[in-house]
């Protein structure tokens, strides 16, 4: 059966076929020995080959929505604009609510002034908006149809808006609020020349490998180690179609970003007067052959049940990459089944493809965080995340990460590594590489997507410039 995705009409985009064991997949140019071919070009439209929507179609709906929320006017007033070309907004109703990190407010309906002409601005008054709101509070507006039409049911949402009302807690406040005034003293000892063991009376136990400069074990109440691989820094992401279509993807491979590894220079530790344990690691993230490097100084502070990680990254050397795919931490968690977070959701989002995803508290199982693109590539990112926690099948927390008010923090959780995704050319090729544990990325920054598959590369304001120094922090507990 021939199927197509949006694209040039003179291309046959794909053919639904099967492997020898009966697994269905979408074949594309070159899969049948055909030469020349277009490979997977235009197999990346707004719909998948079975005509189900991609995340791109959800974002497109947001881009062309007929009512745009422009901003707050103060005193419970919001300015909007009618983006229709020929009709007023009289056929719509508007409902408001407030979401925040401290709890949601159900809200009510908003009176839309009658006769708002096309391309005309107006002001809505939000009646009943609480005077006191929790941290990170956002006003949500939802515009929907009053009556059914030939193309949609009554209540169909045609546009949404969101305005931040209160600030996010700063990282300093976050750290201060999470500390008990009387934290018990930690115990720390080197049980071998390279292995530092740290224990909290509260039941947390960590093993830090001083030979590689990485946290390699985290247990609670004598349970299993939740980290199946050591926690390390990461700069590479599996290429997207847009990365392959522009210079960024080629540059990452030319500069061997996918082969960059952490190289330890020195790891030292001490116990502070307050009883905390600090491990300071000097290291270099560098590829083979080439002489560029990211010089890292990282301080791991163990206090009570949590670990605060502060890192400073300084680029050095020559033939530096143009950008990083990401800058963050990666590990893998044993027993992880779900993720819950406060940030944009529920669907995937990147720094330059996120407006369709509203800030709020969201939850998903690990499989639901994965987008099964017909050509495997980086996917499932969630951005503008304040915190994320990963839970086991019984709902117990395995690990939580908190970034405070840092803008653009992201996470991904999936059962494949970036290099496994990068090596696969069809989804079925990933099935044999599916892991029991879950690969978790905790990124301070993530490179934008751009439109390089068939348009401009990532714009400068969304590019993760590899030439800049960075100082970042995160709390893990």
**Per-residue DSSP letters for 238-286?**
PPPHHHHHSHHHHHHHHTTGGG-EEEEEEEEEEE-TTS-EEEEEEEEEE
- Higher-pLDDT residue of 384 and 304 is 384
285 has which bridge partners? 262, 294
Q: How confident is the model at residue 111 (pLDDT cuts 50, 70, 90)?
A: very high
Q: What is the rounded average pLDDT for all residues in the chain?
A: 92
pLDDT beyond 80 at 244: yes
Residues whose CB is less than 8 angstroms from the CB of residue 55 and which lie 6 or more positions away in sequence, other chains included: 347, 348, 353, 371
- In sequence order, which ranges of 304-375 are alpha helices (DSSP H)? none
Task: Please answer whether residues 257 and 467 qualify as being in contact, where contact means their C-beta atoms are separated by less than 8 angstroms.
Answer: no
The residues, ordered by sequence, that sit 6+ positions from 149 with a Cβ below 8 Å of its Cβ are none
130-154 confidence digits (pLDDT tens): 988 889 999 999 999 999 999 999 9
Beta bridge partners of 41: none
pLDDT tops 50 at residue 2: no
Q: Please check the confidence at residue 10 and state whether its pLDDT lies above 70.
A: no
Domains of the chain: 1-52 (no CATH), 65-164 (2.60.40.10), 187-476 (2.70.98.10)
User: How much is the pLDDT for 9?
Assistant: 34
Q: What is the pLDDT of residue 177?
A: 61
Digit-coded pLDDT (tens) for 418-465:
999 999 999 999 988 999 999 999 999 999 999 998 889 999 999 999
Q: How confident is the model at residue 26 (pLDDT cuts 50, 70, 90)?
A: confident
pLDDT for 8 equals 35
pLDDT, residue 171, reads 83
DSSP for residue 347:
S
pLDDT digits (tens, 9 = 90+) for 115-133: 999 999 999 999 999 988 8
- Mean pLDDT value of segment 305-316: 97
CA angle 303, 403, 414 (to 5 degrees): 100
410 Cβ neighbours under 8 A, 6+ residues apart: 326, 328, 350, 381, 382, 383, 384, 385, 441, 443, 445, 446
Spatial distance between the Cα atoms of 457 and 223, rounded to a whole number of angstroms: 47
Place of tokens 């709890």: 103
pLDDT at 304: 87
Task: Please list the alpha-helical segments (H only) found in 25-74.
Answer: 55-63
Nearest to 25 by CA among 57, 55, 41, 1: 1
Residue 289: both structure tokens together? 């052959």
């Amino acid at each position: 059966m021939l199927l197509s995705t949006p694209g040039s009409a003179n291309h046959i985009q794909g053919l639904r076929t099967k492997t020898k064991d009966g697994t269905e997949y979408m074949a594309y140019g070159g899969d049948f020995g055909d030469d020349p071919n277009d490979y997977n070009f235009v197999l990346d439209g707004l719909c998948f080959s079975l005509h189900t929507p991609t995340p791109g179609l959800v974002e497109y709906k947001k881009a062309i929505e007929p009512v745009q929320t422009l901003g707050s006017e103060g005193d419970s007033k919001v300015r909007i604009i009618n983006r229709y070309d020929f009709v007023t907004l009289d056929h719509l109703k508007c409902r408001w609510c407030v979401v925040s990190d401290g709890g949601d407010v159900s809200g009510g309906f908003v009176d839309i002034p009658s006769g708002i002409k096309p391309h005309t601005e107006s002001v809505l008054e939000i009646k009943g908006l609480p005077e006191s709101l929790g941290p990170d509070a956002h006003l949500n507006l939802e515009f929907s149809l009053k009556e059914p039409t030939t193309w949609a049911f009554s209540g169909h949402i045609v546009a949404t808006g969101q305005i931040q009302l209160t600030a996010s807690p700063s990282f300093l406040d976050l750290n201060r609020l999470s500390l008990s005034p009387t934290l018990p003293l930690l115990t720390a000892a080197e049980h071998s020349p390279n292995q530092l063991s740290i224990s909290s009376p509260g039941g947390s136990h960590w093993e830090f490998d001083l030979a590689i400069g990485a946290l390699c074990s985290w247990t609670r109440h004598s349970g299993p180690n939740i980290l199946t691989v050591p926690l390390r820094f990461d700069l590479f992401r599996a290429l997207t179609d847009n990365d392959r279509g522009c210079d960024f993807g080629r540059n990452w491979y030319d500069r061997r970003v996918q082969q960059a590894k952490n190289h330890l220079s020195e790891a030292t530790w001490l116990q502070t007067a307050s009883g905390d344990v600090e491990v300071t690691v000097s290291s270099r993230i560098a590829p083979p052959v080439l002489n560029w490097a990211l010089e890292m100084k990282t301080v791991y502070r163990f206090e009570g049940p949590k670990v605060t990680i502060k890192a400073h990254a300084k680029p050095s050397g020559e033939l530096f990459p143009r950008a990083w795919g990401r800058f963050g931490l990666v590990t893998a968690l044993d027993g992880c089944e779900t993720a819950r977070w406060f940030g944009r959701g529920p669907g995937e989002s990147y720094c330059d493809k996120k407006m369709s995803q509203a800030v709020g508290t969201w939850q998903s199982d690990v499989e639901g965080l994965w987008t099964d693109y017909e050509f495997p590539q980086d996917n499932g990112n969630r951005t503008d995340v304040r915190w994320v926690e990963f839970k086991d099948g019984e709902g117990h927390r395995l690990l939580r990460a908190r970034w405070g008010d840092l803008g653009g923090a992201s996470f991904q959780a999936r059962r494949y590594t970036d290099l496994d995704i990068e090596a696969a050319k069809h989804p079925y090729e990933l099935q044999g590489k599916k892991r029991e544990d879950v690969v978790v990325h905790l990124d301070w920054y993530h490179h934008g997507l751009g439109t390089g598959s068939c348009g401009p590369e990532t714009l400068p304001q969304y590019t993760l410039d590899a030439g800049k120094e960075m100082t970042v922090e995160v709390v893990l507990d």
